[in-house]
Amino acid sequence: MVITLVIMIDAMPKKYITEESTPYLFNFGKDQKESWIDPLFAFRGIETTFFTGKWPTSHGVWTEYELNNFSDKRALDLTYSKIINLTDLLYEDNLMSITRYLINRYIYNKATYNSGINLIPSHLTNYFTLTQNRSIFDMPDVNSCPTLFNQLTKSGIKYSITLPAKIGGDQASFQKILKNIEKKDEFNLYKIGILDKKGHKYGPDTKYFHLTLKQIDNNIKELVTKAEKYSETNVIIFSDHGMAPVNKRIDLFTILKPLKYEPLRDYLFFIDSTMVRFWFKDEKIHSYFRELLNKFTFGHCLTIDEYDILKIPRDPKYGQLVFVLDEGYIFHPDFFHKNSVMKGMHGYAYPINKEYFPFIMTTRNITLNEPDKLKVDFIDIYKIMLDSCSGKYN
Ligand SMILES: [Zn+2]
């Protein structure tokens, strides 16, 4: 029997793979197969794309948060925003977002997922809701696009999923995958989460987390060796996005404050780190903002054509106007960070530097891309995973 071992590394650009920091991965890529992955301009939608094999224009998931349609009663609950307001007193970002999460989970009985991991200004918090309120691993389909796990179940393929542990971090989940691999399930997914945090905090300069990379590399080596001892193994290792250095910060609150139009009265806005999305009361205000934003040199407003090029769902719940930043800029503060300053960021509409792109590596028997393609697309990864456990590469 051949088993499939998928190792998904959050926020690992190709640049991190070096002979010094990650010798096992470095040689794996050389001896086996490797390729760039074409980055996808999506947030929550990236994971949804490679576990449904459909672009965001089909499965409909793009950002973490969308405009609330007010079917949720919480939106009308003013005490909710007052309680959330109190969390602002905590000052430290992690403490604030964890407290919000606990309020959502235990007072409002809301969060089965990552609800509340945000720092949306408290007076705006009722206006936004999670785009995908459950983990992709618990969903049979996303807007009628079946997930990989649904397909596996239908085909009678046994699988295990090992995600970053909430307590004990990556080392705890590593012990878990070592146990899971002993079960010899046909498909095994292992997600490594730590690099996203490190990359945001320090930027993609690996000297600050050389030891973390070494640890990850050792763990992968131990895991693959163990899997191969039990059974013939197809190994698929990939990252979901890269990480680019941040050079400049834009304070959007300061830009918006002196304008003649006011938030809530005239418009709503949501600041993701690399873009801002607006909803307007009327067309006149919409035009005013488009004209104002297009004067800035650090980004631009998305055109209708770009929605198709970038595979963004054309749904007003994601904003009537979207302004995207050029690589290297971030909005600070945004609706996820208030005091902590990010030195690395991903999620740019047009990433430029290939060094910071995501990558994929597989064992040699797997077909990585069609002969006419120089890179792998996220929807190809779905096919690679499914083909591997359907016996195509045995
Ligand atoms: Zn991140």
The domains found in the chain, sorted by start residue, are: 2-59+134-244+352-389 (3.40.720.10), 247-341 (3.30.1360.180)
CA of 3 to the centre of ligand 1 (A): 30
Q: What is the pLDDT of residue 97?
A: 76
CA of 200 to the centre of ligand 1 (A): 7
pTM of the model: 0.90
Q: What is the pLDDT of residue 293?
A: 97
Model confidence at 321: pLDDT above 90: yes
CA of 199 to the centre of ligand 1 (A): 8
CA of 193 to the centre of ligand 1 (A): 10
pLDDT in tens, 30-40: 999 999 999 99
pLDDT in tens, 331-369: 999 998 888 889 999 999 999 988 899 999 999 999 887
Model confidence at 70: pLDDT above 60: no
- Residue 31 C-alpha from the chain's centroid: 29
Q: Kindly state the percentage of the chain with pLDDT values over 70.
A: 94
CA of 345 to the centre of ligand 1 (A): 7
- Give the DSSP letter string of 271-335: EETTEEEEEESSHHHHHHHHHHHTT-SSEEEPPHHHHHHTT----GGG-SEEEEEPTTEEESS-S
Dihedral over Cα of 375, 380, 383, 384: its sign? positive
CA of 346 to the centre of ligand 1 (A): 6
Model confidence at 112: pLDDT above 70: no
Q: What is the pLDDT of residue 129?
A: 86
CA of 70 to the centre of ligand 1 (A): 28
> Taking phi first (over 0 means left), then psi (-120 to 50 degrees means alpha), and beta for anything else, what does residue 18 get?
beta
**What mean pLDDT is reported for the chain?**
90
Residues 105-109 have a mean pLDDT of 69
Please, are residues 4 and 385 in contact by the beta-carbon 8 Å criterion? yes
CA of 273 to the centre of ligand 1 (A): 10
Distances (CA, A) of 348 to 198, 242, 270, 274, 326: 18, 10, 16, 6, 7
CA of 337 to the centre of ligand 1 (A): 12
List strand residue ranges (DSSP E) for the chain, in order.
2-9, 33-36, 65-67, 128-130, 141-142, 145-146, 159-162, 187-192, 232-239, 244-245, 248-250, 267-272, 275-280, 299-301, 321-325, 329-331, 344-345, 359-362
Q: What is the pLDDT of residue 110?
A: 60
pLDDT in tens, 279-311: 999 999 999 999 999 999 999 999 999 999 999
Q: Which residues contact 19 (CB under 8 A, 6 or more apart)?
A: 26
Residues 259-276 have a mean pLDDT of 95
Model confidence at 73: pLDDT above 90: no
CA of 235 to the centre of ligand 1 (A): 25
Residues with beta carbon < 5 A to ion ligand 1? 196
Q: What is the pLDDT of residue 146?
A: 97
CA of 114 to the centre of ligand 1 (A): 14
CA of 166 to the centre of ligand 1 (A): 17
pLDDT in tens, 179-201: 999 999 999 999 999 999 999 99
Residues 137-146 have a mean pLDDT of 94
Question: CA-to-CA distance for 319 and 19, rounded, in angstroms?
Answer: 44
Q: What is the pLDDT of residue 200?
A: 94
CA of 181 to the centre of ligand 1 (A): 28
CA of 258 to the centre of ligand 1 (A): 31
Q: What is the pLDDT of residue 123?
A: 80
